[in-house]
A = this chain, B = another copy of it.
Amino acid sequence: MTPTTPLEASGARTATAQVHEAIKQRILDGAYRPLEFVREAAVARELEVSRTPVREALRELVSEGWLEAIPHQGARVAEWTEKDAREVFELRLVLEPMAVGLACRHIDADTLAHLDDLASRMEALTESPLDGAGHSELASLNHEFHRLLIQASDNQRLAQILESVVRTSIIRRNFASYDRSALKRSMQHHREMLIAIGAGNAAWAENVMRAHLLAARVLHVTVDTSTATSSPP
């Protein structure tokens, strides 16, 4: 029915990995709505593979939190509630500062230079007014900045947890709602974090990260600011 990219040029080699990517993309695109069931047979038909790789891809997506499985009934797109947003934010507010704190002790000059470059490119983008593509580019650079910082923590588990936690929420987040001053402040946070890390000052870097995240939250959801957790004075 829907001619929606039947597997074609996907970097992945196994059919399971391709189906995995395809379904994830459809969720991100909104082609599959929350609470909608993703049927094995239907996906298999549309992507022109058998049900086996579809089954395996669905199980992976379930364990990654994209879908929820109901025994003998199938897998459906996980719903995104206010509570989910709160949970993810609580976790980021603790884990990302932890990551930059650890990064202070492990980071190498190359990574720091790469981060510096990313920060510069983001700053350059914010010099002029942004269109849709600009917002998209900025979001992409920002995501890469955070990802690289997290990798520098030298804690694989932490990196994996944050990746999966952030990824599921990144869909609904962009810079469209940022006004000029909020954007500049965000860029300054990045810059300040790099300086703190370069100075090996973990506490400084951690607190800038907390400020960075809290400032961003104000723009996205209504917050009870008294519920902040584990924040040192």
Binding site for B on A (CB under 8 A): 13-14, 55-56, 59-60, 63-64, 71, 87-88, 90-91, 94-95, 97-98, 101-102, 105, 155-158, 161, 165, 202, 206, 227, 229-233
Contact = CB atoms under 8 A, between A and B. Distances in A.
Nearest to A90: B155
B95 A94 contact: yes
A101 B228 CA distance: 10
A203 to B, nearest CB: 9
A21 B229 CA distance: 36
A198 B49 CA distance: 56
Contact of A64 (B14, B63, B95): B63
A149 to B, nearest CB: 15
A64 B60 CA distance: 10
Number of this chain's copies in the assembly equals 2
B232 A157 contact: no
Given A102-B90, A157-B165, A230 B97 contact: yes
A158 B90 contact: yes
Which secondary structure dominates chain A's binding surface? helix
A229 B95 CA distance: 11
- For A13, A87, A105, the residue with the greatest tally of chain B CB atoms inside 10 Å of its CB is A87
23 contacts: A13-B71, A14-B71, A56-B56, A59-B59, A60-B63, A63-B63, A87-B157, A87-B158, A88-B157, A90-B98, A90-B102, A90-B158, A91-B157, A91-B158, A94-B94, A97-B230, A98-B229, A102-B229, A202-B229, A206-B230, A231-B232, A232-B232, A232-B233
A94 B157 CA distance: 13
Contacts of A91: 155, 157-158, 161
Give me the 6 closest cross-chain CB pairs, A-B, nearest first: A232-B232, A63-B63, A87-B157, A87-B155, A98-B230, A101-B229
Given A91-B158, A157-B87, A227 B98 contact: no
A137 B200 CA distance: 45
Contacts of A202: 229
A146 to B, nearest CB: 17
Contacts of A231: 232
